[in-house]
Chains A and B, each alone.
Chain A
Amino acid sequence: MSTRLSSAGRLLNREAAVKFNFNGKYLQGYEGDTLASALLANDQMLMGRSFKYHRPRGVVASGAEEPNGLVNLGQGARFEPNARVTTTELFEGLVAESQNHWPSLEFDIGVVNNYAARLLPAGFYYKTFIHPRAAWKHVFEPVIRKSAGLGRAPKSRDADRYEHFYAFVDVLIIGGGIAGLQAARAAGAAGVKVLLIEQTPHWGGRAPVDGAEIAGKPAGDWIRDTLKALGKMPNVQIRTRMMGAGIYDHGYALAYERLSDHAPDNDLPRHRLWRIRAGQIITTTGAIERPLSFAGNDIPGVMLASAVRDYVVNYAVSPGDRTVVVTNNDDAYRTALVLKEAGLEVPMIVDARPDGGGALAEQAKALGIRVETGTAIAKVNGGKRVTAVEICPQAGEGKSMTLVPCDAVAMSGGWSPVVHLWSHCGGKLIWDADHAHFRPDPDRPPLGADGQGFVSVAGFANGAMGFGDALRDADDAGKAAAKATGGTPKRSAAPKAVDVEMAPMAPVWKMPQGAGYKLRSKMWLDFQNDVKVSDVQLAAQEGFESVEHTKRYTTLGMATDQGKLSNINGLAVLADSLNAEIPQVGTTTFRPPYTPISMGAIGGEARGEIFQPLRRTPTHDWAEEHGVYWEPVGHWRRAYCYNHKGESVEDAVQREVRATRASLGLLDASTLGKIIVKGPDAGRFLDMIYTNMMSTLKPGRCRYGLMCTENGFLTDDGVVARLDEDTWLCHTTTGGADRIHAHMEEWLQTEWWDWKVYTANLTEQYAQFAVVGPNARKLLEKLGGMDVSKEALPFMAWADGKIGGFDTRVFRISFSGELSYEIAVPASQGRAFWDTLLDAGEEWDITPYGTEALHVMRAEKGFIMIGDETDGTVIPQDLGLDWALSKKKDDYLGKRAQERSHMADPERWKLVGLETLDGSVLPDGAYAVVEGDNENGQRKTEGRVTSTYHSPTLNHGIAMGLVLHGPDRMGAVLDFPKVDGTIVKAKIVSPVFYDPDGEKQNV
């Protein structure tokens, strides 16, 4: 069994007992425990089930690389799936439950997959579920959905806060082991600004557990002294619980700080995402121990040797009473020594190397531990817990010679430097055959803006395999980084550390060497995703030679741990199967983040009201008080309609249209773009920007204009007013204001930079209201001021003047077909002017209307709307707007493009009006169909609906659409199928349904 030892536990506070709950049971741990160590202390080795076969899973590691120990953590608004038990600090009241099992952890139905493992080989899903389609939908998918998935999604809104931090430093050091500390000290002493971060709550990494002696004192003391020295350096900042998540271009790094995961009741944000710019980055991220591949290496109780000694030394927890150590290197002997020292049994050390180990092996033997060299584990016995191991020669096929009863196995397949961060931004790796691992190639680092390397690696992460080497390496890296960022490194030597002599490790990718299929199909590579040695071999056999393909075919390394334990072992098996060298096969791509980070941290403060800033017109608050139904238009909120009490949205729109046409309506049009174009060359410039002629417009007059892209397609429209000899005011669509301003600037700055023109986007400087309807003039005359008569201010004219005491600019333009004045006032006076218009208009039942009434009225008049009648593939000619294409101009944006054969094709669909025979409203976007199928087997079409409404004025459905030869087929009836399969018949008519001669707007 796993249990709490009587020793102190380096990281525990034995004075502070902590109660927590796992799967409904109340358990006890201590302050300083991780959830993993506390569960082990309570003999809870079984922590979850694997993804595919639902096999029992116990914890295998002690840190961020853990693949098995994933739990649902917390409840309600603080629920989070897939929390790693090894990085979850214990706190009073913690609630966790195991996941990926049904109905219970101990008894799981899905484990039946385990017995069907031979039927579920690599690529099974790809091979099996393609045909028949119906079986996928009705049989496979429901079953897979029930049994698959890790954890479950939270249901409540997250109760916590998150934030982003920005930091700019000279040297960022990621990893707070002894190498990181020494690098920080060396760089800090050189006077540059240093940030040192560590993902765990503790400094010093593995050194204290592994019994290092540094500068003549125990590692723990040296770490304490170094932290004290760093604390005295004002230019050095150090932070724990902060993971270096990713390294990106030009010294950009992301770090993930967990502020209150371990103390949910404190008043801090839960997580913080740091966005860091560093001159130089040093990664001192250490190394991760690799598992060994032997049959049954996934049975709970089989753990990494380093993890076993972490639990004993740091948390006073023994994973088992009798632990067999199995290894291909000397380091694992440390685990045997630690276990023995704690009074636990080590029945055997199984060393795959024929010649065995060095000094540590001698120590083990001196303590009376049985060491068997040239041997392997043939098979682990046990189900939910290890009961024994069967021993065989490593060189053989796995014929069992000895049965060794035990309840834990500590395995070590060697160490892999954590090269993830180095690799994120392009750092290259080299294969180190002596240690059988990839390490950073110092000659091929990630490059910065100046073409020089900006990342260096030090310590075990750099392949240094001793404490002394690691410290020297880190000292050099710290000084070099400081120098590169303008510091002056001190002349000082790195602290010395004593290292034991180690015998060479031996690469062992399979145990035993000649294991047959039966054993290989029980050798786990990826514990979480259930990928075995036999799966990778099958993938290779089936032609998946690229490591990236094998990864996707087998799902090796695609679980939440991203293959931190499995990748090198899998790679070696693949290389062996392909008869290739490991470096030839190469690694898969390392991608950020290093370990998963929360969605909350990525979002930061951007949630709720401040998710996106809102643009408000001057009548926004008034609208809120008057039943507005909002329509989001870009960052604006525009009134779709204003609902009376108890009124539906549809009814409100119909009422607003009728009231406007009958008497008087009022529209807030402030969001329309208003761009000033000014200068001696402004007319010439606008003649290029618009398809029609703007230079000939007379001051005091307005003209409707079209803009096309250089590709010939319509991009915006609006009314242009000439303000004076060298000034024009260009109205754009609401969505177009910023875009069109940028479009103008682009052409002015990059093509016609010698033209004397400047532009200013004044959209937000003015409120603009449309006073619309037969009584519009009466209202303005009642308020008094300027002359708004037909003679003084005819249709398509504008004038400055006073209305009701306000300074206004009045445009006689109409988008509704009614007598209409669009009146601009400074934005600061917008609300007052709006209120004044409403008060004075009461006698004509003035009716504020929204964007939908505006749309209905413009459709009744056959006016196009950018974004409805256009979609980026429509040219003015399609919409019957040929009259707006100037024949007098040699050039304008889009002119050459419109000469292309496809643009002049008579088969292009053209704009018409559509009137349903039964008076109903055509579905938006519906297609008109004809007999026969096209080459893709789809029904042939001859047109589509671009705008469709119920017209309250005509009391039937009206629509606009693009139809093949449309304008030549007036009166023809088209078939528009609906989603339910029925057909609506509609007649082609003129798109101008209302007042075709324009008598109403021109009074």
Chain B
Amino acid sequence: MLILQCPCCGVEAEETEFAGGGQAHLTRETVGASEENFEAYLFMRENPKGVHFERWRHANGCGKWFHAARCTVTLEVFGTYSAQTTRPPNEICDKITARRPGWSLKDWGSGKFA
């Protein structure tokens, strides 16, 4: 059971206080989108062995959504940050690189940030 810190209210809490919301930083596709892009938006998700960016909601707390950068193998949490951003903040990426030398944001999200 993970411990996460909600960046909205500052509370550090047990996983049972949060609800997972899947992969972060999806771009909404809608009317006008090609079949391929719309399919990718609805169904295609990263499943990395290692660094991942996820959406979480402080469901049994302040109710706010936020993002977490986490290692799916070791369960290390690199940091949590606002959901109101389209890309992981630099300070989070720097923290990850410090812990995982050689890691780059370019490797995540099917080249979305390449």
Contacts and interface: CB of A to CB of B under 8 A. Distances in A.
A447 B42 contact: no
Contacts of B33: 896
Interface of A: 248-252, 277, 426, 447-451, 710-711, 742, 745-746, 749-751, 753, 890-891, 895-897, 899-900
B30 A250 contact: no
13 contacts: A248-B1, A449-B2, A449-B77, A742-B59, A745-B63, A746-B57, A749-B83, A750-B65, A751-B28, A753-B83, A895-B31, A896-B31, A900-B38
A749 B2 contact: no
Main secondary structure of the interface of B (DSSP, over half): loop
Contacts of A710: 42
Point out which of B2, B28, B55, B83 has the most chain A C-beta atoms below 10 A from its C-beta.
Answer: B28
B9 interface: no
Interface in B56-98: 57, 59, 63-65, 71, 74-77, 83-84
Given A449-B76, A449-B77, A896-B29, A749 B1 contact: no
B99 interface: yes
B11 interface: no
A451 B84 contact: no
Contact of B30 (A447, A711, A742, A891): A891
Nearest to B43: A711
Q: Which 4 A-B pairs have the closest CB atoms?
A: A451-B76, A753-B84, A447-B74, A749-B65
Contact of A250 (B31, B35, B55, B75): B75
A563 B28 CA distance: 51
Contacts of B38: 896-897, 900
Contacts of B77: 449-450
B3 interface: yes
B52 to A, nearest CB: 14
Nearest to B24: A750
B70 to A, nearest CB: 9
Contacts of A449: 2-3, 75-77
A746 B65 contact: yes
Point out which of B30, B38, B42 has the most chain A C-beta atoms below 10 A from its C-beta.
Answer: B30
A891 B84 CA distance: 22
A751 B24 CA distance: 11
A249 B75 CA distance: 7
Contacts of A897: 38, 42
Contacts of A745: 63, 65
B65 A891 contact: no
A376 B2 CA distance: 51
Given A249-B2, A711-B42, A890 B31 contact: yes
B65 A447 contact: no
Contacts of A447: 74-76
B3 A250 contact: yes
Nearest to A711: B42
Interface in B32-57: 32-33, 35, 38, 42, 55, 57
Interface string B9-39: 0000011000001000000111111010010
Nearest to A451: B76
Contacts of B30: 891, 895-896
Contacts of B59: 742
B38 to A, nearest CB: 6
A891 B30 CA distance: 7
A249 B1 contact: yes
Contacts of B99: 451
B44 to A, nearest CB: 14
B2 to A, nearest CB: 5
B31 A450 contact: no
B103 to A, nearest CB: 13
A448 B63 CA distance: 26
B35 to A, nearest CB: 8
A745 B77 CA distance: 25
A738 to B, nearest CB: 10
Contact of A749 (B14, B64, B76): B64
